[in-house]
Structure 1
Amino acid sequence: MSAAEVRPASLSDAAEIARIQRLTWRAAYTDLLGAEAIDALDAADLEGTWAETIEFPGTRVYLAVEGEFTVGYCVAGPAPIDEIATADGTAPPDAATTALIATLVVEPRWGRRGHAGRLLGTATADLRSDGLDRGVTWVAQSDHPTLGFYRRAGWAPDGTVRTLDTGRGMLREVRLTGTLQLELTH
């Protein structure tokens, strides 16, 4: 196995992140969104969105790299109130110290090589250095591998769910939460 590492993304990485997103969404979401919707993901639009994300204040974008290949990415930062609010819409008492792992994706052919753990570990270490101590993320209820990954990191569902209309059906997501002091296990 080539050397694997995690590094911060730069603007020059936006096209590669968009490529990984399209490829991964095709593998994971075609049944839910439809091939037409996946095919409609315009490379230029996605690249622009990723460039904006990389430059957005307070947001951290990380890349997992193995050898010369970019194999995954993670977006993290302070959690917006609407992502962590209680059922009645109020902010939790620890809102100021809560982070959001907005997305964590590893290209399918590079899975099971520790890239997701390295991405999450790097993100949480940086978030802790920013004074944050709890994290949240949203995962499709049917995405058992990702749910298992976060459970192995010590995160668990907090009882909050949301339903997203995909245009072809409804996607139910569960909110997971846990400490930024990770407990990654095998």
Structure 2
Amino acid sequence: MTAPVRVRRAVPADADAAGAVFLACWHGSYADLLPPPVRARYDGASAVALWRLVLAAAPDGVLLADVAGHGVRGVVRFGADPDDARRGHVFSLYVHPDAQGLGLGRTLLHAASGQLRAAGYDTATLWVFAGNHAARAFYVGQGWTPDGGTRVEEAYGEPEVRLRRHLPAVTPVQ
């Protein structure tokens, strides 16, 4: 897949596409990470319903990677950190398994970081499953580092670690 990629803001009509990317990751990428009962919480209908709610609540905080001829293959959701509104936060980043390794995650994460910096945040956080070694390595490669925060959300039952990154200043266009 070497088609051009357009990063764009999501609109409510993108709930089906965002739900499909989420679901493919939930059942594919997390197959060895989350127990089957947790993964079974989402099917096609519930994934789309989830993204309808997300897009209705915070449409400005969702960007999509739209690949020419292939449709939406990645989604990132970001905004204020719910634990400290002085920081930005990346709530989720999903790249469809058939498009992983093509740079879409890096492109979306960079775009979200730029949006957070433009909104006035100089640092951002995110949570990643402790056992998701590939995702952790990806984030570390993008300049995110563990800050000592850990949690286990009841809904997932898996340990997570918090990563943090200083957001570089936005270079003004001249």
TM-score calculated relative to the size of structure 1: 0.81
Which 4+ runs in 1 deviate beyond 6 A? Answer: none
Corresponding residue of 2:17: 16
The residue correspondences of 1:120-135 to structure 2 (distance < 5 A) are 120-135=109-124
> In the alignment, which of 75, 86, 105 is matched to residue 77 of structure 2?
75
Q: Is the 8 A contact 1:9 1:63 kept in 2?
A: yes
The letter for the 2-side match of 1:164 is E
Q: Which stretch of structure 1 is more off in the superposition, 110-119 or 50-59?
A: 50-59
The letter for the 2-side match of 1:30 is A
What's the RMSD between the two structures over aligned residues? 2.0
The residue correspondences of 1:100-139 to structure 2 (distance < 5 A) are 100-139=89-128
- State the SS of the aligned residue for 2:3: coil
- Give 1:165 shift: 4.0
The letter for the 1-side match of 2:167 is L
Q: Is the 8 A contact 1:102 1:137 kept in 2?
A: yes
For residues 38 and 57 of structure 1, do their structure 2 counterparts lie closer, same or farther at Cα, with a shift above 3 Å needed? closer
- State the SS of the aligned residue for 1:49: helix
For residues 52 and 120 of structure 1, do their structure 2 counterparts lie closer, same or farther at Cα, with a shift above 3 Å needed? same
The letter for the 1-side match of 2:88 is A
For residues 109 and 42 of structure 1, do their structure 2 counterparts lie closer, same or farther at Cα, with a shift above 3 Å needed? closer
Corresponding residue of 1:53: 54
Corresponding residue of 1:171: 158
- Give 1:43 shift: 2.7
Distance in 1 of aligned mates of 2:97 and 2:74: 9
For residues 44 and 11 of structure 1, do their structure 2 counterparts lie closer, same or farther at Cα, with a shift above 3 Å needed? same
Residue ranges of structure 1 left out of the alignment (5+ in a row)? 82-94
Residue ranges of structure 2 left out of the alignment (5+ in a row)? 170-174
- State the SS of the aligned residue for 1:177: strand
- State the SS of the aligned residue for 1:97: strand
Aligned length: 166
The letter for the 2-side match of 1:49 is L
The letter for the 2-side match of 1:113 is L
Corresponding residue of 1:158: 147
TM-score calculated relative to the size of structure 2: 0.86
Corresponding residue of 2:172: none
1:65-118 deviation per Cα after TM superposition (whole angstroms, max 9, x unaligned): 21132111000001112xxxxxxxxxxxxx343011000010111011110011
